[in-house]
Structure 1
Amino acid sequence: MKLARDTWLVFQRQLLLMWRTPIWIAVGVVQPVFYLLLFAPLLKQALIPMGATTYAEAYQIYVPGLLAVLCIFGGLYTGFSLLGELKAGVIERARVTPVSRLALLLGRALREVVALIAQAVIITLLALPFGLRVGPLNLLLAYLLLALLALMTSAISYGIALVLPNDAAMAPVVNTVAQPIALLSGTLLPVALAPMWLQSVAKWNPFYWAVEGMRSLFSDHAGASVVWQGLLVVAVLTTAAVYWSARLFSSRIR
């Protein structure tokens, strides 16, 4: 109960800070909107092998990948905010309080989840005029998958920030990790269009299963095995990522 209360208190404080600077949500949406408006219309011909004969069907395939890459990149770069708080002494002051160290981490991570889901909702709404259609229950399940993905990547980013507490060192590491993860997830184009060797490699990428699960949900195939495989893989990895970053947080923030 104490952990839940402490997490809620930290989460409320972080939400208040985010509410005071809503520009960060807008900034996070700008690049995905460019991809939605300027890149997605080019995909109709490219996605014909996937059964996309109209622009609406192309968006049905592309938007889930765009939402996933939003959480991948958005989550993996959240560690820079923790670095800023460490340098400003915010964490130093918080550690003398009776608040749980795990709550200090979870409260911040959940704030990032809320911000990324808010951005995902905006992108989804903007895609509706282009013909995107998805059932409410499938959409909620897709957002659950996205929330787990955002929590996992945020926890990983916080862990990297604690291991490499330097902007100059962290930036290339995060970028080096994020690029192949996103490309091998089939976020821009489905991996099914790739050669067999690349498809085999992609299946070792846990984010691939999350993206495939998202696409099945947006295609109204909630009962497909890939949906539950994606949820299971992401849930297990999220638990592991939170545990790893929490251990680092407890050992290094004393």
Structure 2
Amino acid sequence: MTTTTRAEPTPREPTRDAVPSLDASVIAAVGGAERPPHAGPVSASLTYGWRALLKIKHVPEQLFDVTMFPIMFTLMFTYVFGGAMAGSPGEYLQYALPGILTQTVIFITMYTAMTINTDIEKGVFDRFRSLPVWRPALLVGALLGDALRYVLASAVVLTVGVAIGYRAPGGFLGVVAAVALLVLFCVSLTWLWLIVGLKVRTPNAVMGISMMVLFPLTFVSSVFAPPETMPGWLQSFVDVNPVTLLVEAARGLMNDAADGGDILLVVVLSVAITAVFAPIALRLYNRKT
């Protein structure tokens, strides 16, 4: 009895005609034959900046720091300290409003660090870093979104100030120049808080460290009182305090008594802060795991 062995069929090689049909089905599934172009640095940064604004839309409570707090600061300091400091709230408002404006916006700079730290804590940070976009776009976009917050907070303070009697001798252009200078300095300062946000573990820790630094810098300055009224040993610190330099430059622009030296010093300081802290923040961002 003979046995026959059945030959195993050899797998048939795909023909040239089959490959295009397979590719066509895959292309039809994904929706197009061409890949969309990669987002450039500007486009990616603007997208992340828009994301920061959308977060405010979905969580309106985030607007408290740029609406309610400026209103509270302006009203409290004017009517609580005005009579004791200058004899009347109206006279004190003319001196203090540029300082209140500066303090309000500087305090908001910490929220960029809190946002990036929250993204790290929730895992969103890792997802963004895996996207094929310009790597610093997340940080630059956050800065762009917060720059708009600085402008909004400035508008709120100025609106309240005008409503209760403040008038800027420097006029509209002086106020705009003061706000622009303030935003420039605060954007540079935000790079420092980004380093804090990338290093500490929780958003609460970011706020604690930021407040521990910002409170002495803003209150021990010429924001609320002239340095001449302070003890000599304290004046030495107040005179070199960066917040004092910023306040005096903004106050000069708003009072039609602009000092070119003060303005130039603030611009140079802003550039120096960015040059020192931006590379460190970007390096930490690239190495963050």
Question: Which range, TM-score by smaller chain?
Answer: 0.7 to 0.9
Q: Does 1:63 align with 2:101?
A: no
Say if 2:134 is the partner of 1:114.
Answer: no
Which residue of the partner structure matches residue 141 of structure 1?
177
Offset at residue 56 of structure 1 (A): 3.7
What is the rounded CA distance, in whole Å, between the counterparts of 2:280 and 2:84 in structure 1? 40
1:210: how far off? 0.7
Q: TM-score, normalised by structure 2?
A: 0.77
Residue 271 of structure 2 is matched in structure 1 by: 235
Q: 1:22 aligns with which of 52, 60, 64?
A: 60
TM-score by length of 1: 0.87
Deviation at 1:156, TM superposition (A): 1.6
Aligned residue number for residue 84 of structure 1: 118
Q: What does 1:1-254 align with in structure 2 at a 5 Å threshold?
A: 2-48=40-86, 55-134=89-168, 135-167=171-203, 169-252=205-288
Change over 3 Å in CA distance of 1:218–1:100 after alignment to 2: same
Kindly report the root-mean-square deviation, in angstroms, between the aligned alpha carbons of the 2 structures: 2.3
- Paired residues in the alignment total 249
Displacement of 1:219 in angstroms is: 1.0
Unaligned runs of 5+ in 2: 1-38
Structure 2 distance, partners of 1:148, 1:243, is 18
The one-letter code matched in structure 2 to 1:199 is Q
Give the drift of 1:46. 4.3
C-alpha distance in 2, partners of 1:247/1:61?
41
Identical aligned pairs, as a percentage? Answer: 24
Q: By how many angstroms is 1:70 displaced?
A: 1.3
CA separation in 1, counterparts of 2:77 and 2:158?
Answer: 16
Secondary structure of the equivalent of 1:175? helix
Greater shift after overlay, 97-106 or 224-233?
224-233
Shift of 1:54: 5.7
* Residue 23 to residue 171, structure 1, CA distance change in 2 (3 Å): closer
Whole-angstrom distance in 2 between the partners of 1:198 and 1:128: 32
Q: Is the 8 A contact 1:210 1:234 kept in 2?
A: no
Q: Distance in 1 between matches of 2:275 and 2:68?
A: 30
- The one-character-per-residue Cα deviations of 1:121-158 (angstroms, maximum 9, x if unpaired) are 01101110222122111111111122123313322222
One-letter code aligned to 2:232: M
CA contact (8 A) 1:117 1:143 kept: yes
Report how far residue 205 of structure 1 moved. Answer: 2.1
> Could you give the per-residue CA deviations for residues 212-232 of structure 1, whole angstroms, max 9, x where no partner exists?
111111211234432332233
Which structure ranks higher in relative contact order (CA pairs < 8 Å, sequence separation ≥ 6)? 1
Indicate conservation of the 8 Å contact 1:145/1:234, yes or no: no
Using the TM superposition, give the Cα deviation of residue 184 of structure 1 relative to its aligned residue in structure 2, in angstroms. Answer: 2.6
Pick the structure with more helix per residue: 1
Larger Cα Rg: Structure 1 or Structure 2? 2
Which sits farther off after the overlay, 116-125 or 166-175? 166-175
